[in-house]
Structure 1
């Protein structure tokens, strides 16, 4: 399969603005699928911890166990679904199954009369997320023209993040409209979930498998994993250190609360973060199609260091707000680009496996990062948590500086296969 390597070129302002028009309809459809499902999921997830404790009498420990099991399940499932998509040579069917499971669980939340039903619904919902994640990302790479791959991943990430802040805002507004009726809000959340399922069924069309593309019998065996290439595994290693630097956003909420933000306004931290993230992800993805992706990723790490230092030292709520905005910008500069680099370096017949392994390893790293951040917070205070993040971000920059030529040579090699 012949693929063009990312080129460093210059374009006119008019051509740059027209990039979104040149993206295939399937990329737009997948972006809106992600957005609608995120709206639905975040409407429920924003209220679920409170509903479990207040409505059903669960403890905070129970909430933590439920969330931990759910996220671990999603991370593990991604590996096997990605590998399966490579084995069967199809992506869309697995993505549909994943979105379908998530949609089918949504009516359980308003109907559940016990914690057991909610645990089952949350578990199946995360299984659905795990099933769809890697095949969907591989499908984005398959549909997008190589010269617009950064823009494609950036657009999907932007639309997904729009859902991440619209969902909680809708939950807040609907709780006011329905006078605190959790079940009524959960029923409304069913609508965008089934909208997402209909959209992927009707408007996402998988491209034909290229002739001559090698068939993979067991994508998870040692030989195939080694075949993902040095550049891919180096990017995974760099992403692990980077993920250790960007621990859970829950610590941003704790920092804002420590600085004096009222409990009622705490959700606005995530709203501000996700707006910053959504506004930057697509433009940066598009920019990466014309300039060096690794160099832009390094800029994202500079932004993460700046966010950490701001959150460590800035006084008052306005300083914290500036740190949150910088944190959102760093995500816009990095999350879509990391996915694009995985697509650039992985062989086309192993893209599902590549995304599955990447998501698993970085998911485990995020769990470890959050545990480390919590330990530093308890032992030394918030300032040292963010200073440690800044130090790890600097370490990641060093690793990336040694990655640029390796990635470029790997992409050139894929181009001439």
Structure 2
């Protein structure tokens, strides 16, 4: 794909240009990027199907909501301990340990059905309990990369091109988000379309990807000059970073937290809506796709749209500002849940309608590069990683109970109420940000 030329005479980014930019990265950064791709592939093959897997193992919607909340806890609290471990043993060995733990987490998910119920007398441990154990391990590798990724882009890209820089990293990473679910759908199809035993094959592939990525990064990554994480000073530093967040971030933080809280209420349950609520299946080229298989196809449709819109939206932000682009992405986050759950009320819940809804959902990623630029842009040149860590720590801490709330509403009231409440909260966050959001200087 050739690049297009914008009105200012500069080349507009195309989808393939982001991959060319990655091939020109420093070798160690490229190794980390490829490891991120491999682990993202493993996560995306497994994580979006885990709620259905848990339901097949006997978990109720409320238990599945608790699983989502535990995932929120892990996302909030892992990055800073990850930095401390990196300080102690060095980046190379920390990455190896995190990779091994993540691979072990995939393995625990794989063997969970084989363990069976364990009767402890007063308590019976159901097989789905091991999904929680695996989650605590599988997220380990992600504990290192968030702040480092932001800091690398901040240091390597001019301030007025930050959105384009993040479009490059996100397009590369999100390709795994496309390949993973579609690959999982293919394996499920070959296994007859059933979550069991098909998902066990998916988990086996995730274990293999994790093992290969762990070995590759340990052998190829040279962290002799890496300084990421070497200035961590404990809780006092966290508190200073939280108090020192740039003023421009506060409206974004409020709006983003509300939108992510809303998304957290329903994100875990999207697979159950498709497979158990709408029960939508499809026949493509004469092949029948069960709801479980079709869900992977829907995620692929969503991510194709995301990959197509991120780079052009980042370029658009240089003309109209970051706030409108981020706000548009927030709006899609907000309205998608109510559109999905009420599909039978306004259109047939058939394959084409639901695929169109997931294509619409892919538009939310258009604002992601601009969102990241708006987070790290106001930070001083050498503080991007710490500002990012503080921002996500605070946001993710508030979002922690969202999945449990969504699960409780689904289980004890109705799925329609859970998804409607999520949309209301998401629209409040979107409106707040559009009214009070502030550009940072390079994009103003």
TM-score (normalizing by structure 2): 0.70
Deviations 1:241-288, CA, capped at 9 Å, x for gaps:
222343433444455454451444344443333333333234333543
Change (3 A) 1:10 1:99: farther
Partner residue of 2:166?
153
Aligned position for 1:25? 25
**Is the 8 Å Cα contact of residues 240 and 365 (structure 1) preserved in structure 2?**
yes
Distance in 2 between residues matched to 1:66 and 1:246, nearest whole Å: 15
The residue aligned with 2:384 is 351
Partner of 1:132: 145
Residue 5 of structure 1 aligns with which residue?
A: none
Instruction: Tell me the alpha carbon deviations over residues 189-244 of structure 1, each in whole angstroms, 9 at most, x when there is no partner.
Output: 2332244345655368798779xxx9674563544432232123332222112223
| Residue correspondences, number | 394
- Give the superposition deviation at 1:93: 6.7
The answer on whether the counterparts of 2:72 and 2:399 sit within 8 Å (CA) in structure 1 is no
2:164 maps to 1:163 = no
TM (normalized to structure 1)? 0.74
Q: CA deviation at 1:25?
A: 1.4
Bigger CA drift: 65-74 or 227-236?
Answer: 65-74
Confirm whether residue 98 of structure 1 aligns to residue 102 of structure 2: no
CA–CA separation in structure 2 for the residues paired with 1:82 and 1:233 = 25
Within the alignment, does 1:396 sit opposite 2:396 as a pair?
no
Q: Supply the distance in 1 between the matched residues of 2:138 and 2:347 (Cα, whole angstroms).
A: 40
Give structure 2 stretches of 5+ with no counterpart.
1-5, 116-126, 282-290
Is residue 247 of structure 2 the alignment partner of residue 230 of structure 1?
A: yes
Match of 1:361 in 2: 394
Using the TM superposition, give the Cα deviation of residue 361 of structure 1 relative to its aligned residue in structure 2, in angstroms: 3.2
Matches within 5 A, 1:180-329: 180=197, 184-197=201-214, 200=217, 202=220, 217=233, 220-247=237-264, 248-256=266-274, 258-262=277-281, 263-264=291-292, 265-289=294-318, 291-304=320-333, 307=336, 310-311=339-340, 312=342, 314-317=346-349, 318-329=352-363
For structure 1, the 5+ residue unaligned runs are 1-8, 413-417
Aligned counterpart, 2:123? none
How far does residue 344 in structure 1 lie from its aligned partner after superposition?
A: 0.8
Structure 1 residues 325-357: Cα deviation after superposition (integer angstroms, max 9, x where no partner): 222211x12333322222112334433332223
Are residues 28 and 402 of structure 1, via their aligned partners in 2, closer, same or farther at CA, if it must alter by over 3 Å? farther
The equivalent residue for 2:185 is 172
